[in-house]
Amino acid sequence: MNLDAHDSVRPILWRDGALWLIDQRLLPHRNEQVVCRDVGTVAEAIRNMTVRGAPAIGIAAAYGVVLAARDRFDAAPGSWREDIEEDLQTLAGTRPTAVNLFWAINRMRTAIADCTGGPGVRLLEEARAIHEADIADNRRMGQLGAALIETPCAVLTHCNAGSLATGGFGTALGVIRAGYVTDRIRRVYADETRPWLQGARLTAWELLEDRIPVTLVAEGAGAYLMKQGEVGWLIVGSDRIAANGDVANKIGTYGAAIIARHHGVKVMVVAPTSTIDMSTPDGGAIPIETRREEELLALAGQGIAAPGARAWNPVFDVTPAGLVDAIVTEKGVVLAPNATRMAALMKS
């Protein structure tokens, strides 16, 4: 199984003492990078969706802590550990739903406490370890998820949970990569995913970059597509999974899961255990980010709605565990997830 032939996209790089990020706002027409040399630039890149996707946000934040520590130590070597807490809070305030962000910040906070003297190489080693483990975990999840597809079929995915949303390889698209290579996946359909069009701009772009054919569908076409009987699985990522297996993901996932259940299409959620928040009992306790009305009322800066119209723009929804057939993590697979099975996974 030659996965390397279909795994070329890397959205996050540490080079020359700075963080380099593919600017995902410009894809697919321009592939350019933003260079972050301080924590403020990293925070803004997370906030404005230069970098997006729960695992990628966590990785970017970890490197942001490295930059913050360097600057704080240069400014005040004796108090940098205390001073950096302000920067950690700035990073934590960028996106409220993606739990990987807080997981990564807490892991870097522990590394800060372990530093003797200055931050030196310790924090960079920790950020790199988070980054490298994410890619390795994604590959493991890809194999576990693909193995669930017993009968070759078409699959549908929503939003972008690929290399661009992670350190590399992807979660949902990692399964799709592995399934494509092993001939378990015959065709890939991608929802366009309004209002940011992550499916049209990002999922389609990276699959084509890695020579995996993709067919784009409007979200309103999903039900009719599933009715045709070709789609066997809806495969998505997640930004936070509650202790009972409820899943927060890009807005529209809940509706797609309801439609999938009606048509006998199975639902697979693919995410690392860093996305599972055992302190959140169920989906009702997950904070759901609401973004600016303009994102829904305009497209690429061009107004598309009747002047004076208002917009409601939640960017995530919650799919109840009862609509999920499998949660795939690097630790293993949870079938028909519930609180007991999720707890067992996290203790393993």
**Residues carrying an active site annotation:** 239
Q: Say what angle helices 122-147 and 99-114 make with each other, to 10 degrees.
A: 140
Number of H helices, E strands in the chain: 12, 16
C-alpha dist (Å) from residue 9 to 19, 35, 210, 269 = 16, 17, 8, 22
- Give the count of beta carbons closer than 10 Å to the beta carbon of residue 2: 7
Going by C-alpha positions, the residue among 133, 199, 214 that lies closest to residue 166 is 133
CB 222 within 8 A of CB 194: no
Going by C-alpha positions, the residue among 232, 238, 233, 217 that lies closest to residue 171 is 238
Q: Could you give the CA distance from residue 150 to residue 146 in angstroms, rounded to a whole number?
A: 8
Q: Could you give the CA distance from residue 3 to residue 5 in angstroms, rounded to a whole number?
A: 5
Q: Which two tokens stand for residue 109?
A: 């906070």
Going by C-alpha positions, the residue among 232, 239, 233, 174 that lies closest to residue 203 is 174
Q: Could you give the CA distance from residue 215 to residue 261 in angstroms, rounded to a whole number?
A: 22
CB 103 within 8 A of CB 58: yes
